[in-house]
């Protein structure tokens, strides 16, 4: 019976050069002392190259995923602002605020100005413009991107506590049936 090498040669799947090369490698391995390990440098270099390529691919995929998530968040913010913006077309009072290092102004009416000061509404940045939105929407936007909120006034707990400590009428109870 013919050996596997001879059968592959007859079938044309292997040529004479490959057979000679394999025989040489077998002889080299047979002559090696038993305790030594044969190191194939080309295989190790190929494995290192594959590992480095896989690491680069993972990093690129991570960067692409981060970019996709950033775009999705920006789209959510734009949608929140465009659906919930407050009309300020009849504004005659200039409300000034800072955008980065620049001082900008938006024209609002007296009701909107009061609501901005009290923190009922907030001023947010939409692409190149500025819009007014309710405070609840501003909180949702701040969860996604705090830099989109330009003006959102809130009362701090220390201010509220200071007012309650100095209140001369704090000891007096307000009756439940009192009508204003």
Per-residue pLDDT of 123-162, as tens digits, reads 999 887 899 999 999 999 999 988 889 888 886 555 445 5
With a threshold of 0.85, does the pTM exceed it? no
* Partners of residue 97 on adjacent β-strands: 104
Per-residue pLDDT of 53-104, as tens digits, reads 999 999 999 999 999 999 999 999 999 998 998 988 888 888 898 888 899 9
Which of 135, 115, 113 is closest to 124 using CA atoms? 135
- Integer Rg of the chain from CA: 37
Residue count (the chain): 180
Helix, strand or coil for residue 61?
A: helix
**H or E stretch including 45?**
helix 41-84
Residue 42 token pair:
């080309």
Residue 103 token pair:
């001082």
Per-residue pLDDT of 5-49, as tens digits, reads 778 778 877 788 888 888 888 888 777 776 656 567 888 888 899
Where exactly are the structural domains of the chain?
43-166
């Amino acid at each position: 019976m013919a050996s596997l090498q001879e059968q592959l040669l007859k079938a044309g799947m292997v040529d004479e050069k490959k057979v000679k090369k394999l025989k040489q490698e077998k002889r080299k391995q047979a002559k090696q002392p038993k305790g030594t390990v044969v190191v194939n440098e080309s295989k190790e270099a190929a494995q290192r190259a594959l590992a480095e390529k896989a690491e680069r691919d993972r990093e690129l995929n991570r960067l692409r995923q981060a970019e996709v998530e950033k775009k999705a968040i920006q789209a959510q913010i734009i949608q929140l602002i465009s659906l919930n913006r407050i009309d300020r077309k009849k504004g005659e009072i200039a409300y000034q605020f800072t955008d980065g290092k620049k001082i900008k102004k938006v024209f609002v009416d007296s009701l909107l100005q009061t609501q901005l000061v009290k923190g009922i509404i907030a001023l947010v940045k939409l692409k190149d413009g500025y819009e007014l939105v309710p405070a609840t929407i501003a909180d949702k936007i701040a969860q996604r991107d705090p830099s989109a909120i330009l003006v959102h006034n809130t009362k701090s707990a220390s201010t509220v506590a200071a007012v309650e400590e100095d209140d001369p009428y704090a000891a007096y109870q307000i009756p439940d049936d009192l009508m204003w």
